[in-house]
Structure 1
């Protein structure tokens, strides 16, 4: 009996024809090179950087006009276009929303926090509360006070929502027409 084994003639398909040796391979990619660039949107800032550079935030006036009830979905707002607007200018990735009674929620979006992102964060906190559990169930708007805290907005609430226009047609409406 011979202990010699026949020479292998079959070549592994994964290695065949590559023509590179392990020494020719590139070194592993460092962590800095692995960072995703697509998730970092141009022109969107970190709020801490804005504070360091003393760049002031500007709130769009549309945030005061929503008349939105905190325990209803933000999709219930009639004017859907305002939901797409940035909550603050210049746009930021994350901002804290502070309620006067101490609750604080964070609105986040890597492409810039929109009004919808802020309303979604608030809705997540209030969706399980009934109307009688809330003292002021309607959003009055947001306020940025750089003297108090640069990195957060104060959320203001009110007791009554927008005035609903009556759709009833009675005798008086017919007589006036």
Structure 2
């Protein structure tokens, strides 16, 4: 007899019938290893970028580049209005951190974040987001004077200093003034 067994026949004969197709392999079986859940953004962090709390625990002091004091930037204008665009690419603090709080003297606090290290542009963007809807006459001190880190007060934040006038002297922009300056030189 060359007739294949049926379910009824196999039950009687004590045999089991297996499906023609093998079961589909699972992803774990294909890769040969268990897939562990990890945080989504681990690949976007950069090497050498610290968490500010880790710096505090290890008592690693941070430094600020002097360029943060020379932006001449108005708080309610876009950070792209800064004259020297190269300043914006610089790290806000050294060693670079993922996020840092920026504290204003009257109690306002904003946070600048960047997983590859907070840059001066990231800090200016965070400040601008808070002040962009303010009119010029609403701000007592509309210009950024710079940042200060005071480890005695708080290790994990920077103090933002403001001023009434821009820290960058304005050069004359009219053509007549430029010609006059060239003639004097």
TM-score (norm 1): 0.81
Cα deviation, 1:43-71, whole Å, max 9, x if unaligned, reads: 00000000000000000000000000000
**Residues of 2 paired with 1:35 and 1:133: CA distance?**
42
Note the residue ranges of structure 2 that are not aligned, 5 or more in a row.
1-5, 8-19
1:122 maps to which of 122, 127, 146: 127
What residue is the counterpart of 2:106 in the other structure? 101
Alignment coverage as a number of residue pairs: 164
> Aligned in 2, Cα 1:120/1:20: closer, same or farther, shift over 3 Å?
closer
Which one has the largest radius of gyration?
2
Cα drift, residue 40 of structure 1: 1.9
What residue is the counterpart of 1:166 in the other structure? 172
What residue is the counterpart of 2:14 in the other structure? none
Q: Secondary structure in 1 aligned to 2:43? A: coil
User: Is structure 2 residue 80 aligned with structure 1 residue 83?
Assistant: no
Structure 1 moving runs of 4+ over 6 Å: none
User: Is structure 2 residue 146 aligned with structure 1 residue 141?
Assistant: yes
> Aligned in 2, Cα 1:18/1:37: closer, same or farther, shift over 3 Å?
farther
> Aligned in 2, Cα 1:92/1:24: closer, same or farther, shift over 3 Å?
closer
> Aligned in 2, Cα 1:54/1:22: closer, same or farther, shift over 3 Å?
closer
**Residues of 2 paired with 1:112 and 1:95: CA distance?**
10
RMSD: 3.0
TM-score (norm 2): 0.77
Note the residue ranges of structure 1 that are not aligned, 5 or more in a row.
6-10
More helix by share: 2
**Residues of 1 paired with 2:143 and 2:130: CA distance?**
14
User: Is structure 2 residue 60 aligned with structure 1 residue 55?
Assistant: yes
